[in-house]
Amino acid sequence: MTGGAPCTDRLFVLPSPEELARAAAGRIWGIVRERIAALARAGKEAPRIRVALSGGETPRHALEILSQEPYRVSFPWEAVHFYQVDERWVPPGEPLSNRRMLREALLSRAPVPSTNFHPVDTSLPGPEEGARRYEELLRSEFPAPAGGYPRFDAILLGIGKDGHTASLFPGAPDTASPGSWVTAVTGGEPRLPRVTLTLPVLCAAARVIFLASGREKAEALRGVLSGERRLPASRVVPARGTVTFLADAQAAALAMRKGRGSR
């Protein structure tokens, strides 16, 4: 995995998981609105905003909130395309499927055009093929990107107790071939084959938002904010973008205690 320049990250602490979810929905909305305005100023008539969403449980409520008022009517659903940060190699109806969570929380509730969701296809013969096809899809969406990697307008990430993010796990060998955008890995709890965006893709995003909720994330968040290099989440350092950490009070407890409110 590659390293990076000093972080331009910021930690925002919300009192409760509910307020964290509200803040996350508001942040996504803010990024999209800002981007739409910038594209309008540049004379783009049919803007296309690209947002990659993580799985796990933390984003669920934020996405549910995004599908409700006031966002339901004001969010530019036609313009926003959603992608997966990572997927567990299970059928899409399984409880462990990230696609299922995204469907339950957002896609089945909000008026997202079906053509605006771009899932990892886990019906393919295996995760390597799934990764290859997902990369192909992304390459058709982001032809010849500057810097060699796609620039998502926003990527929503979680943090595992062990400091993983996306499906990039601490201590896991970096098996991604140089320059690749998507790779197949095995890891996590439960340990499963997975398909994930690679670290350089996360680092190429315009805006990265990390969400952390609950006491069980406190040690990992402290380590990530301290820049502990062994933790994959701390290596997400956008070269031409920003990182924001949104955490509830329990997740931020150790980071705050050490006097690392923000930097």
**Candidate segments 38-46, 61-69, 158-166, 244-252, binder of ligand 6PG by CB under 6 A:** 158-166
From 209, 222, 236, select the one nearest 5 (Cα to Cα).
Answer: 236
100 in contact with ligand 6PG (CB under 6 A): no
d(C-alpha 94, C-alpha 179), whole Å = 32
End-to-end Cα spacing for the chain:
24
Cβ(202)–Cβ(239) under 8 Å? Answer: no
Which is it for the CA torsion 105, 107, 112, 115, positive or negative?
positive
17 binds ligand 6PG (CB under 6 A): no
Choose one: 32-40, 113-121, 159-167, 234-242; the region binding ligand 6PG (CB under 6 A).
Answer: 159-167
- Is the bond preceding residue 95 a cis peptide, omega within 30 degrees? no
Binding region for ligand 6PG (CB under 6 A) out of 35-43, 50-58, 61-69, 139-147: 50-58
- Torsions phi, psi for 26 (to 5 deg): -65, -40
| Site for ligand 6PG contains 98 (CB under 6 A) | yes
Q: Give the span between the Cα atoms of 8 and 219, in whole angstroms.
A: 21
Work out which of 67, 165, 234, 244 binds ligand 6PG, going by CB under 6 A. Answer: 165
Interface mask (CB under 6 A) for ligand 6PG, residues 117-136, using x and -?
Answer: --------------------
Beta-strand relationship, 80-84 and 49-53: parallel
105 lies in the site for ligand 6PG, by CB under 6 A = no
The 8-class DSSP code of residue 215 comes to G
Beta strands, E only, the chain = 10-14, 49-53, 80-84, 86-88, 117-118, 154-158, 182-187, 192-197, 207-212, 242-248
Asked whether position 50 contacts ligand 6PG by CB under 6 A, the answer is no
- Structure tokens belonging to residue 53: 């969403």
Interacting positions 182-201 with ligand 6PG (CB under 6 A)? 188
Residue of the chain from 17, 119, 127, 160 that contacts ligand 6PG (CB under 6 A): 160
State which of residues 32, 47, 51, 55 lies at the interface with ligand 6PG (CB under 6 A).
55
Instruction: Select the residue interacting with ligand 6PG from 13, 50, 52, 56 (CB under 6 A).
Output: 56
- Binding residues for ligand 6PG, rule: CB under 6 A, are 54-58, 85-86, 88, 98, 158, 160, 164-167, 188
